[in-house]
Amino acid sequence: MVARLPGYPAAAATWQLGNMILGIETSCDETSVALLEHDGSVRVNLIASQVERHRPFGGVVPEIASREHLQHLFPLVSRALADAGATWSDIDRIAVTAGPGLIGALLVGVAGAQGLSYALGVPLVAVNHLEGHLFSPWLQREGAAIPLPPRFLSMVISGGHSQIYDVENGRVTMLNRTRDDAIGETFDKVAKFIGLPYPGGPQIEKNAGGGTIDRRRFPLSVPQFKDDSLDFSYSGIKAGAIRIAREHGIRAGGDPKLLADFCATFQEALFAQLFDRLDAIWSGLRRPLPTEAAIAGGVAANGTLREKMLAWGRDRGVIVRLPENRYCTDNAAMIAFAALQPSNAITDPRRVTARSRIA
Ligand code: KG4
Ligand code: ZN
């Protein structure tokens, strides 16, 4: 017989030890732990990045990621408490990323969160990593989170995902997704091909800036589907960019003008597709229209894209929310914040499972 958990399930809803939620994120290559107050104020958001460990391999090595999470998770939890001047009894809820992501990496966070939930007797909330990203633009650097409007769009663009969500009164609906590669993955793979270090997105951005750049030097167009689907597709741009790079001998450290024009053209093509789909989705939305729109995920850190998104909002009279840079790439603050949304229920910790894919 399974022993009854302290506080489960009857007392879970009323369990009120402290006033902080502990967030844990280990879905990919960043171990992150955060402490948030219930109004979304971020007290601490610590991130142990593994980028340097994976860089020699040009991408994330799942086995290394899991081992790094194991090593860093609990020391980070202790440091988060110390930095916040808090104790275990200040935690009244735990939020953990349950998927999607690398299964071994997720299991470290989920098992750690389950253990803490048992030991502290506080409820656990299993969070979809993508929901973490999609609410992140409303988190502030300091103070309470910006109140969420009744209806908004959020475009999650990261290393593993590219999808647009419509969130109405807490109900999350995915409007499109990528049929093949994610936008960040496309940045990373093309950057790797031309010899730029991992992760490729910021490297492409850096090389696409400054001087007199020709953003249309190479032919890279926005793909359209025969069935008029508004899904994203990045495999064609990836193949096209690699072919162009090969034909023109474009390499990191090579002809700087050629490299800059290539990076700018490639980046422009990736973003053109985002706005092509966003426009089409926007024009087909049921009224009343969303009052706010956001970009989120690692690619949302891109300065050119942020400018374009602000301009997009200005043209339509829509408030644009851009995530703070610290909340763009994977972080536990966004996971804890998502756990505070009504779409996420407290779960019996025994039933929380890590899932590499979530439909
Ligand atoms: O959200 P994230 O940390 O991880 C996933 O959940 O996938 O996103 C990482 C992705 C990488 O593909 C990286 O190249 C991309 O975000 N990225 C950028 C920029 N900064 C990070 N892409 C374009 N421009 C940037 N400045
Ligand atoms: Zn992510």
- The predicted-structure confidence for 152-193, as pLDDT tens digits, reads as follows 999 999 999 999 999 999 899 999 999 999 999 999 999 999
Pairing of strands 91-99, 162-168: unpaired
Q: What is the pLDDT of residue 12?
A: 44
CA of 226 to the centre of ligand 2 (A): 30
Distance CA 69, CA 90 (A): 24
Mean pLDDT of the chain: 92
Is the distance from the beta carbon of residue 298 to the nearest atom of ligand 1 less than 6 Å?
yes
Is the distance from the beta carbon of residue 181 to the nearest atom of ligand 1 less than 6 Å?
no
Predicted confidence (pLDDT) per residue in 255-266, tens digit:
999 999 999 999
**Is the pLDDT reported for residue 47 higher than 60?**
yes
Distance CA 112, CA 117 (A): 9
Is the distance from the beta carbon of residue 301 to the nearest atom of ligand 1 less than 6 Å?
yes
Asked whether the beta carbons of 323 and 141 are under 8 A apart, the reply is no
CA of 161 to the centre of ligand 1 (A): 10
| Dihedral angle, C-alpha 219, 238, 208, 256, nearest 10 ° | -80
Which residues have a beta carbon within 5 Å of ligand 2, which is an ion?
158, 330
pTM for this entry: 0.92
Hey, which of 329, 331, 358 would you mutate to test ligand 1's pocket, going by the most ligand atoms within 8 Å of its Cβ? 329
Hey, which of 299, 322, 326, 331 would you mutate to test ligand 1's pocket, going by the most ligand atoms within 8 Å of its Cβ? 299
- Which of the ligands is closest to the CA of residue 181? 1
CB atoms under 10 Å from CB of 284, counted, come to 9
CA of 133 to the centre of ligand 2 (A): 7
Is the distance from the beta carbon of residue 132 to the nearest atom of ligand 1 less than 6 Å?
no
Nearest CA to ligand 1 atom 21: 298
Query: How many H helices and E strands in the chain?
Result: 10, 10
Q: What is the pLDDT of residue 54?
A: 87
Banded pLDDT at 211 (limits 50, 70, 90)? low
- Which of the ligands is closest to the CA of residue 192? 1
Banded pLDDT at 3 (limits 50, 70, 90)? very low
Predicted confidence (pLDDT) per residue in 282-336, tens digit:
999 999 999 999 999 999 999 999 999 999 999 999 999 999 999 999 999 999 9
